[in-house]
Copies of this chain bind each other. A is one copy, B any other.
């Protein structure tokens, strides 16, 4: 047991990130059934779709699971009421102030975890009374912090300012990486990329195959004038890069981005014109096949234990 496993009453301190177009009830329940904490990603769901996913998730697992809610969600009040009405016990919030909803959710007996990309926001989370913090580094796919602080630098920075249970995210795709962030002070991990590319993820198969064949450098943080986003190279991203290299402003980028690009790419599998979001750690998975959640969990746990034995056996080169 550690801070994270006891907080959520789960077996392994591994949380599956609630990702747009990937994290439906199928993925979340599979992760929870395998001993981690599955999260339904509400960011890409209509309110009624979220209700349906929560119900199906409850039917598919008797283990704890949660819902991720980006706070800039347009119908945020509806979404919050749904998680209450459906009896969800754990909510991960992101992309907004933790001050707004934490008390409201707590009053309704719901645990709140907030995602941050800086120690400054981690401090605000603590002040807002959250139950745990996810510190997400520059390596993460999709929306990202302006500070560009990597997981290696972010975990100790957040650890230094709070004793709250700390979940490290961004760049973690192996058991050895889990051990590495534990060395830095994290209690658990949130893994996105690895789970986005499993059989249970609702992403399009073409997207999964494409992301399992990326090289180092194939994801880059762009759209910094708008909202920094880690994108996979494709025709759409080339258009973004060309516009940015020519000094495109916010309005021009918004037109280029248009609506529904992420759905088009991730869910519908349009690899050319869709917006493809995945983490930098995808390059470490190059050549892998699309695995099941339970295979991924086994690899993570096996890899963690192997790395731990390795560390315990290293000669005391620092004595």
Contacts and interface: CB of A to CB of B under 8 A. Distances in A.
A82 interface: no
Interface in A120-159: 120, 137-139, 145-154, 156-157
Contact of A318 (B160, B246, B304): B304
Contacts of A154: 216
B185 A176 contact: yes
A44 to B, nearest CB: 26
B118 A216 contact: yes
Contacts of A150: 137-139, 150-152, 171, 280
A149 B283 contact: yes
State the copy count for this chain.
2
Contact of A176 (B156, B177, B301): B156
Contacts of A247: 245-248
Interface string A212-235: 000111001100010000000000
B225 A245 contact: yes
B280 A217 contact: no
A23 B133 CA distance: 39
Contacts of A319: 305
A145 to B, nearest CB: 8
B12 A318 contact: yes
Interface string A106-124: 0000000000001110000
Interface in A88-104: none
Contacts of A49: none
A259 interface: no
A293 to B, nearest CB: 16
A125 to B, nearest CB: 15
A179 interface: yes
Contacts of A216: 118-120, 147, 149, 153-154, 157
A281 interface: yes
B174 A152 contact: no
Contacts of A151: 150, 152
A284 interface: yes
A307 B141 CA distance: 29
Interface in A153-175: 153-154, 156-157, 160, 170-172, 174-175
Interface in A301-319: 301, 304-305, 307-308, 310-312, 314-315, 317-319
Nearest to A246: B247
B220 A148 contact: yes
Given A139-B152, A305-B319, 13 more contacts: A120-B216, A137-B150, A139-B153, A149-B283, A150-B152, A150-B280, A153-B171, A153-B280, A153-B281, A160-B284, A180-B180, A245-B247, A304-B318
17 contacts: A2-B314, A5-B317, A12-B318, A137-B152, A145-B217, A146-B217, A147-B217, A149-B216, A149-B217, A149-B280, A149-B283, A157-B216, A157-B283, A176-B184, A304-B318, A305-B318, A311-B312
